[in-house]
Amino acid sequence: MARDLRKASRLRNEYSQLLVPVIAIVALVVFNLIRDPSFFSISLTVNNEGNHVLTGNLISILNGASELAILAMGMTLVTAASGGQDISVGATAAIAGSVFVKVLRNSASITPLTIIIGFVVCVVVSIIFGAFNGTLVAIFNIQPMIATLILFTCGRSIAYWINGGATPTVSSSILKAIGGFIPGIPVPTPVFIVILCAVIFAVIFRFTNLSFYTQAVGINQQAARLNGINSTWIKLLAFMILGICVAVAGCIRVSRLGLINHETILAEIEMDAILAVAIGGNALNGGKFKMSGSVIGAYTIQALTTTLYAMKVSSSEIKAYKAIVIIILVVIGSPVVKDAAARLRARLVRKTAPVAERS
């Protein structure tokens, strides 16, 4: 009995972090169902290429949040390890996408091999930029936000320089398959890429000490170091893993659009990614983290955006409504409000308990 109780309380602690994001997404779903019962209906249609594809708001939420979800996974790791956020992901993604496009355009024809080469080059470049940020943070002990401000300022200019200012296009049936639909499969490919990334992270966390070490470094760097964890390397690794995530997100976006515009590609996604981490209940000053929370946070943000679009809010006004929802979410999740709620619950329980005894 006692063991069950302890287990239950541990479970509660384990999952209370996910409470706010799950409540948020459920509330959004319920709101949409009340507003428009057919909001989540999915239909099978034929697209321009003659494939049978699923369409509907649910699919567009799942599809549209792909880049954000992947970036949020990497951002969670960086946040947990370094206690700060990388604000250069959008700019680095622009660089990665430009490199990808550059490689594809320099090859005679776009074959699976050139795409793989392009992707590998793009990942290497992103890892280098990630390592640059990581070096500043881990070795020079600079606050992550300040360190990544450098690439935030000049990253898109570097992307401009790679492709010479134009917005070059690339088109190929393989790219359409990566950014859109594989013929014969009705679900958009980016959704599978997100699942793949999630599985890879789950496997890494299951079979290595990465998650454990990252949390240890995030909670107390000195203590972690005294326990034999190389905290510098862990932080550097977190930034390099984020670099890989950025490369994947950049490639997905380039494949989806078929062109690269260094000014607008994944613009302001860094803010959304940080937001996803925060909505997921992760502490922004490092330590314990839950990657599933961040992924749910990413889908919550996309669901909110899709809902607002469905309510005919214009794209520039969306931010204002998004801000209100964010504030409501963080106020619910804030420690002070949580404590107050716990006290209220305790008082209610104390009031009702004697009544129950008497009867």
Partner 1 sequence: MITNKQVPGALVGRNKEPLTDTHLLITITICIFVIMYVMAMVIWGGGFLRPQQLFDIFNTNAYLIIISCGLTIVMVAGGIDISVGGITALVVMSCIVQLNGVTGSVLSSVLLALGIGLGFGLVQGYLIAYLEIQPFIVTLAGMFFSKGMITIVSSDPLTAENAAFLALKNARIEIPWLGYTAKNGNLIPGRLEIGVVIALMVVVIVFIMMRWTKLGRNLYAVGGNRQSALMLGINVKRTQFLSYLICGILSGISGFVFLTHSGAGNATNATAAEMNAIASSIIGGTLLTGGVGNVVGTLFGVLTLAIIKAIVLASGLRDPWWQSVTTGAMLSFFILLQSVVLANRGKGGFRTLFHKWFHSAGGLPNVASK
Interface residues toward partner 1, by CB under 8 A: 85, 136, 140-143, 145-147, 149-154, 156-158, 160-161, 165, 271, 274-275, 278, 284-285, 314, 316-324, 326-327, 330-331, 334-337
Nearest distance, CB of residue 145 and partner 1, angstroms = 7
The smaller minimum CB distance to partner 1, of residues 54 and 330, is found at: 330
Nearest distance, CB of residue 151 and partner 1, angstroms = 7
The smaller minimum CB distance to partner 1, of residues 163 and 189, is found at: 163
The smaller minimum CB distance to partner 1, of residues 67 and 270, is found at: 270
Judge contact between 29 and 40, C-beta under 8 A: yes
For residue 7, the number of C-alpha atoms closer than 13 Å in the C-beta half-sphere is: 4
Nearest distance, CB of residue 198 and partner 1, angstroms = 24
Which tokens in the block code for residue 48?
A: 């321009």
The DSSP 8-state label assigned to residue 107 in this structure reads: S
Q: At what angle do helices 291-310 and 269-279 cross, to 10 degrees?
A: 120
Nearest distance, CB of residue 116 and partner 1, angstroms = 30
Nearest distance, CB of residue 305 and partner 1, angstroms = 12
Please tell me the total number of residues recorded for the chain in this structure. Answer: 359
Judge contact between 89 and 71, C-beta under 8 A: yes
The smaller minimum CB distance to partner 1, of residues 327 and 348, is found at: 327
The smaller minimum CB distance to partner 1, of residues 15 and 321, is found at: 321
Nearest distance, CB of residue 260 and partner 1, angstroms = 15
C-alpha–C-alpha distance, residues 232 and 221, integer Å: 9
**Range list of H helices, the chain:** 2-35, 57-64, 66-82, 89-106, 112-138, 144-163, 173-179, 189-207, 210-219, 221-226, 231-257, 269-279, 291-310, 318-333, 335-358
The smaller minimum CB distance to partner 1, of residues 62 and 277, is found at: 277
